[in-house]
A and B are shown apart, each in its own frame.
Chain A
């Protein structure tokens, strides 16, 4: 019980910090909207290709932007732990009688909550630009939840690396290195069945695809049972990553 309180306290601090950084809030909202507008218009012609899954490229791409934003938000989730270590705040928390695991878990949850805010805004913006979400409000809730799970996973990876690397410069480089390949080898911006076979193979094992597919099904097709395996995979992967991140963090402080 007290571990839950500790998790909430760690999370509370991160959310407070986010609220106090207006530039960060502004950018986290504006950036995905710019992508939405730019990519949505630039790639509009793509939807003319025969057998393209949707009539409107925006319908296809909006889920992609949701995932993209989630990735960019999540991959830097581990930075705060590196900062806390450097500034001595980590030691201060560790000197208190709090659950050790609550520190990484609280930070992952905070990153995920912040990302859910961004996702909500993207969905609203996409709707305003004329995108369709066939499943309505309930579908929007489902999208946000899936994006939050994905964000937990990515911030878990980031945090695990942060615990091991202990330097923000290295962490930034490694996470930047991971971000684009993760994006481009998934079906986020382009349907997998248009890709060459080897890339399709990668797309299938890429965890990002397992988040994007159910989101896209929910927005463009409706409630289908086919989303369940993907959702199952993404939840299972996220739990494994969170466990590993927590373990690596605990090892890094002992």
Chain B
């Protein structure tokens, strides 16, 4: 049986001013798993991480990392974890190599080992040729890669990554995902990450915990979660709605084995089907036979967005409002945290 490398029981954090940031959260992360917290800004993701990495004292509840209590055995926890914050906290006035050197020294790595590790992690994040440039000349993506490399320098058993791709462009995000996956494969690391991007949670995580208002709503594998809320959604529109043949065709479509439900909307029909791709040709066949024309048809796979909606009753948007709102939100949360 695989052992849990992170385990929390009723973990709770209440900030001054009675802000309940994390509310009775219990979950377990297994060794070599990529586990993600998915939720909107202010859901309590960062607060959970800060408690797990010993920087914040839980108000109540218990958490262990690598078997050590985060509130009582802080030094032992710190020695076995790595932390990559959402702030991309690299020192701009130092070179990439110097940043790594400093980080390695903070973990008390012997000189010869540190030298080797620095080259290793630089290679891993493709920064070898820019290692001796000052970080202020780096792009946002390069900084994030350096930041991740710093989290790896002491080969932690568990790596905590808070919003790994916040504010990065699509290509860079895909790159970062690749690095994270490679880490698990090559370094056999357990990775705990938080994100408010549902595609990130979907692509990257073995298991996802959906968190909202400080509570875990549901935990599961992305595919399992998506299939739980039903099948694919086919949106179907007939060319001549008033045609009586249309109703008859609908009756016939209902009889198809893969169809689970048909619900009329204003102008079209939402068909929930088990296997959308093979159902669509069958729908055409039926329509042909009944002599009805189909004006449009589309297929939508359920996303973690839909899962989020199903469990929280609201939408998880990719971006909550404008960039300013996002900044304000982050500053507000940070203030509450401190």
Residues in chain A within 8 A of chain B (CB atoms): 2, 5-6, 9, 12-13, 16-17, 20-21, 85, 87-89, 91-98, 166, 253-254
Contacts and interface: CB of A to CB of B under 8 A. Distances in A.
Given A20-B94, A91-B50, 4 more contacts: A91-B89, A92-B85, A95-B78, A95-B81
Nearest to B53: A95
Nearest to B108: A2
Contacts of A87: 87, 89
A21 B98 CA distance: 16
Contact of B108 (A16, A91, A97): A97
B75 interface: yes
B190 interface: no
Interface in B76-110: 78-79, 81-83, 85-89, 91, 93-94, 98, 102-103, 105-108
A9 B99 CA distance: 11
Contacts of A96: 78, 103, 106-107
B55 A88 contact: no
B169 to A, nearest CB: 21
7 contacts: A13-B94, A13-B102, A91-B85, A95-B82, A96-B103, A96-B107, A253-B55
A40 to B, nearest CB: 34
Contacts of B91: 13, 17, 89
Nearest to A93: B106
Nearest to A21: B93
A2 B79 CA distance: 14
A88 B85 contact: yes
Residue among A5, A12, A91, A98 facing the most chain B CB atoms (10 A cut-off): A91
B338 interface: yes
A16 B98 contact: yes
Contacts of A88: 85-89
Given A13-B91, A88-B85, A91-B89, A20 B134 contact: yes
A64 B53 CA distance: 48
A12 B102 contact: yes
Interface of B: 50, 53-55, 57, 75, 78-79, 81-83, 85-89, 91, 93-94, 98, 102-103, 105-108, 134, 150, 338
Contacts of B79: 97
Contacts of A12: 102
Nearest to B56: A254
- Residue with the highest number of chain B CB atoms closer than 10 Å, among A2, A21, A94, A253: A94
A253 B83 CA distance: 17
Contacts of B86: 88
A17 B94 contact: yes
Nearest to A98: B106
Nearest to B85: A88
Candidate in A20, A21, A93 with the most chain B CB atoms within 10 angstroms: A20
B78 A5 contact: no
Nearest to B79: A97
B302 to A, nearest CB: 36
Nearest to A18: B93
B106 A9 contact: yes
A97 B78 contact: yes
The 4 closest A-B CB pairs, nearest first, are A88-B87, A88-B89, A95-B83, A96-B106
A116 B20 CA distance: 49
B102 A166 contact: no
B166 to A, nearest CB: 12
Contacts of B85: 88, 91-92
Contacts of A93: 106
A238 to B, nearest CB: 27
Contacts of B87: 87-89, 91
Given A93-B106, A97-B108, A16 B83 contact: no
A21 B150 CA distance: 24
Nearest to B50: A91
